[in-house]
Chains A and B, each alone.
Chain A
Amino acid sequence: MTNTYLSDNAIVVEKLGKRYSIGRRRGTDDGMRHAIEQAVRSPLSWFRQRREEKQRGKEFWALRDVSFSIKSGEVVGIIGRNGAGKSTLLKLLSRITEPTEGRIRISGRIASLLEVGTGFHQELTGRENIFLNGAILGMSRTEIIRKFDEIVAFSEVEEFLDTPVKRYSSGMYVRLAFAVAAHLDPEILIVDEVLAVGDAGFQKKCMGKINDIAANQKRTVVFVSHSMSAIRSLCSRVVLMEHGRVVSTGDVDSMTSRYLEATVRSCTDHSEGAHVIFKAPIDAENERDFLLTKFELVDVRGEPKPKVSTWDAVAFRIHFYSRHQFQSGAVEFQVRTLDGVPVLRFSTQPDCKIDIRFDSGHQWIDCMVAELPLAAGHYVIAGGLTVPDVKYLCWSNEIGILEVHPKDVFSSGLPPSTGRALVASKNVWKSNNIASRKLG
């Protein structure tokens, strides 16, 4: 392939595929003993079996027939639901694992950031870890020395440079780790959702840094995220993936809305009735100490309420499970837009000052809302059990989809919908202008 072709494209992916074998080699104690025993007992059938396993079943394609190209200087987002093959694609691009078929052509120095702080050693000091981590990510010693001060300044941990990182707070740890990675200075940067860490201020700083790399330094960035708002603010083009294949590539708006539609479709499971937003699989509580088991909508009498409209009186009934008795926990959930912006937040603690005791076993609690202020449209429910202001006992960002049906609450012929505004509130107007009077 000629250089002119490559200099235009930073990354060209052709018919890429990655196959994993599953089932085989699992289980802890039939590792080698099993393999040896089988091989010794009947060598022929062992070989045959292995070949058969290779040929059929017990394997799946995490990625198949994926082709796309990314021009240099472009910032491309990769989106898709969990299991769509995004992580596998990133692993192949960053050469952590090799493809089963197909080809990737990369021109330019590539660096990937699939996790912040990989290779940090707990016993080593911040200073030592900067060098170690830098080297692992592909920087040379002289390069690290040159950028050392910059890295330290960005990380804001100067005073603790000679303290072992095991004594760092998690915030400091993440800051230092990101600082090293951010100064890699590659021509192509591959970023996974590493930004879901650290405090809000630092997250903003990270996004700013990535933005700077993309916009001001004209670098190629491949960015994977579940956050549509992050994708919208960073990317110029989006690759949408589903079940290990590229469904489509295109501009940010059309791809993100397609993704959100697909999310709504797959979350809407009416087998339990439309009032059930979420139901955990049977026995899901087996391995957990805390779990939300069901999330449903009921009316004021506690009867199922399959259809919710703007300004309806509604109760959110949250069923949950706690393995042990637990003092002063809290239930919290949020109603968010499809791209993750919280609109409403409800909690027993700290908002409502209700101290609840989790009994061991299954129980439920109702959160009653006299007048749901949401405009018609789709929302994501996120929620879980918490120890207020301390930690999450269990949490999910995507419990299920809440559909609010349109209702012409203002009798205007225009029922409030998310297209115009997210919430609708009762309102009264008053004027000092005599000429204004009530129409109709």
Chain B
Amino acid sequence: MTQLVIEAGRTEGQYWRDLWRYRELFLFFAWRDMLVRYKQTVVGVSWSLIRPLLTMAILTVVFGRLGKMPSGGMPYPLLVFCGMLPWLFFSMAVMESGNSLVTNANMIAKVYFPRMTITVSSVMTSLVDFLISGVFLVALMLWYRVSPPHAVLFLPLFVLLMVASSLGVGMWIAALMVEYRDFRFIVPFIVQFGLYLSPVGFQSSVVPEKYRLIYALNPMVGIIDGFRWCLLGISGGFLVSEIAISLVGVTLLLLSGIWYFRRTERTFADVI
């Protein structure tokens, strides 16, 4: 017979066991979000293609044509799309997971389940969009007759890094948003500015060398440069240090995110 002890401030071990017990819930939430997302839309799933395509077109025109940024010998749209793939995932995942607790407030006030499931699964939902865009990238590479270098084998590492960084930021924001709804307004800013602060529409090599390491403090810099290195074989130098900084940053972000989420989770139902 299952035994359970609920004691003030002593539920840590129980929690991780529960997370495992409720593992199906990750999929259920992700499944729900996927089902709901394109209900009552005309073009449905196509939206997850239209968005990156339009963004790619605009960034190509602005940075490539008007800004005349260096393309590293690659077709500019391809360069942009490689950067956009992780960036769109990140922005989408952070927005969705950041809002995840507040949009499910009613559930949180009425049923028990490890709250982390809801935040994590909204990141997983964005992964589906990522895969769809990924297919499009393959098509784009075939079209431009660009074949990836051997470094493509490292791609999973950067995908992992990308997911981890979104999770870290998402957990922080989701937990903070429960108490401070201000983050509902802050997140769109992060996403909007982030697009220009990260090397999405351009290569990070256009940043002056002495600032490169500071620039790399934005964890997305290492991730985006990593994607371009794996897929197109171009790197603007400093790749190793960028990745190292990103790795450390993302680890810290994720661990602190989990810590803060857990710390505040016990009062979610009271505050939300």
Contact = CB atoms under 8 A, between A and B. Distances in A.
B144 interface: no
A56 B199 CA distance: 51
B270 A108 contact: no
Contacts of A114: 110-111
A35 B180 CA distance: 10
A32 B28 contact: no
Interface string B1-39: 111111111010000000000101100100010011001
Contacts of A92: 6
A218 to B, nearest CB: 14
Interface in B123-148: none
Contacts of B65: none
Contact of B22 (A97, A103, A138): A138
A110 B179 CA distance: 29
B3 A106 contact: yes
Given A97-B269, A115-B110, A132 B32 contact: yes
Interface stretch (A77-85, A119-127, A277-285): A119-127
Nearest to B108: A96
Q: What band does the interface of chain A fall in when counting residues whose beta carbon is under 8 Å from B?
A: 35 or more
Interface string B94-121: 0000000000101111111100000000
B111 A136 contact: yes
Contact of A123 (B39, B109, B180): B39
A100 interface: yes
Nearest to A6: B3
A118 interface: yes
B35 A118 contact: no
Interface in A92-134: 92, 94-110, 112, 114-115, 118-119, 121, 123-124, 128, 131-132
Contacts of A110: 4
Contact of A31 (B28, B35, B36, B180): B180
B111 A135 contact: no
Contacts of A94: 111-112
B51 interface: no
B interface, by DSSP: helix, strand, loop or mixed?
mixed
A119 B112 CA distance: 11
A33 B109 CA distance: 26
Nearest to B266: A98
A106 B112 CA distance: 15
A226 interface: no
Contacts of B8: 17, 98-103
Interface in A1-37: 6-7, 17, 20, 25, 28, 31-33, 35
B68 interface: no
A32 B180 contact: yes
Contact of B1 (A7, A32, A98): A7
A35 B183 CA distance: 14
B25 A31 contact: no
B109 A128 contact: no
A141 B24 contact: yes
B24 A96 contact: no
A118 B106 contact: yes
B267 interface: yes
Contact of B112 (A96, A107, A123): A96
Contacts of A140: 24
Given A20-B270, A132-B28, A98 B182 contact: no
A20 B270 CA distance: 8
Contacts of A33: 182
B271 interface: yes
Given A25-B179, A118-B106, A124 B32 contact: yes
Contacts of A6: 3
A135 B180 contact: no
B110 A96 contact: yes
Interface in A123-165: 123-124, 128, 131-132, 135-138, 140-141, 164
A91 interface: yes
B2 A109 contact: yes
Interface in A46-105: 91-92, 94-105
Nearest to A12: B5
A97 B267 contact: yes
A235 B89 CA distance: 54
A106 B1 CA distance: 10
Contacts of B2: 107-109
A187 interface: yes
B1 to A, nearest CB: 5
Contacts of A104: 5-7
B269 to A, nearest CB: 4
Contacts of A32: 180, 182
Nearest to B109: A96
Contacts of B266: 97-98
Nearest to B36: A123
14 contacts: A20-B270, A96-B112, A97-B267, A103-B7, A104-B5, A105-B3, A105-B5, A106-B5, A112-B111, A119-B107, A123-B39, A131-B28, A135-B24, A135-B25
Given A91-B269, A105-B3, 20 more contacts: A25-B179, A31-B181, A33-B182, A96-B108, A96-B109, A97-B267, A99-B6, A99-B7, A104-B5, A106-B5, A108-B1, A108-B2, A112-B111, A118-B107, A118-B110, A124-B36, A128-B35, A132-B32, A135-B24, A136-B107
Interface of B: 1-9, 11, 22, 24-25, 28, 32, 35-36, 39-40, 104, 106-113, 179-182, 266-271
A-B pairs with lowest CB-CB distance, top 8? A95-B112, A32-B180, A135-B28, A104-B6, A98-B266, A118-B110, A97-B269, A106-B4
